A = this chain, B = another copy of it.
């Protein structure tokens, strides 16, 4: 029943995470009913971001400026560098506001299965940043998956000759997690890394 333009919009929306065909239609209707308060602001915000979208040439973050807001922030500690697989990991970590340093985005993880080799990731960029000096600690914040940990091991080897402290995120019971529902791997890690109370 809907026109070609409306169908195209519903289809474009259904490609967003968390929206299926049904909710996309609901969003279309909402946009059309609230032209001035919802559709137009969204359109302007999208145009602005589309126009200014850049990949940071220093760390690989996606932002509307290059260097990105984090790399350009003078309050950030330049001596600590946190290496992540993906931009989404950077955003997730940075939302916690607990890491005061800078980031480095690899752009993926080593994977024999998917044919991702070291030269496919931004590893040379990382080594160059470390080699340039001024960095005391590199946090390897890979995902706790087999491929993430393989990548972390590879990076540790590549960086071992530099005078830096190399750390990784702690594994263990997630906050709010119930032991009963955790997998054996997590439990084993949590037990191995147990700490004195208090």
> Does A183 have its Cβ within 8 Å of any Cβ on chain B?
no
> Does A127 have its Cβ within 8 Å of any Cβ on chain B?
no
On whether the beta carbons of B12 and A45 are closer than 8 Å, the reply is yes
On whether the beta carbons of A12 and B63 are closer than 8 Å, the reply is no
> Does A87 have its Cβ within 8 Å of any Cβ on chain B?
yes
> Does A131 have its Cβ within 8 Å of any Cβ on chain B?
no
Among the interface residues A18, A28, A41, which one has the most CB atoms of the partner chain B within 10 A?
A18
Cβ proximity bits A156-177 to B, threshold 8 Å, 1 near / 0 not: 0000000000000000000000
Q: Give how many A residues have a beta carbon under 8 Å from the other chain's beta carbons.
A: 54
Copies in the complex: 2
Cβ proximity bits A17-28 to B, threshold 8 Å, 1 near / 0 not: 111000101111
Cβ < 8 Å to B, chain A residues 1-49: 1-6, 8-9, 11-13, 15-19, 23, 25-33, 35, 37-49
Partner of A50, one of B37, B40, B45, B65: B40
On whether the beta carbons of A17 and B26 are closer than 8 Å, the reply is yes
> Does A95 have its Cβ within 8 Å of any Cβ on chain B?
yes
On whether the beta carbons of A87 and B49 are closer than 8 Å, the reply is no
**Can you sample 15 A-B contacts with CB below 8 Å?**
A1-B94, A2-B91, A3-B63, A3-B69, A5-B45, A5-B48, A5-B49, A8-B41, A8-B48, A9-B46, A13-B42, A13-B45, A15-B42, A16-B30, A39-B46
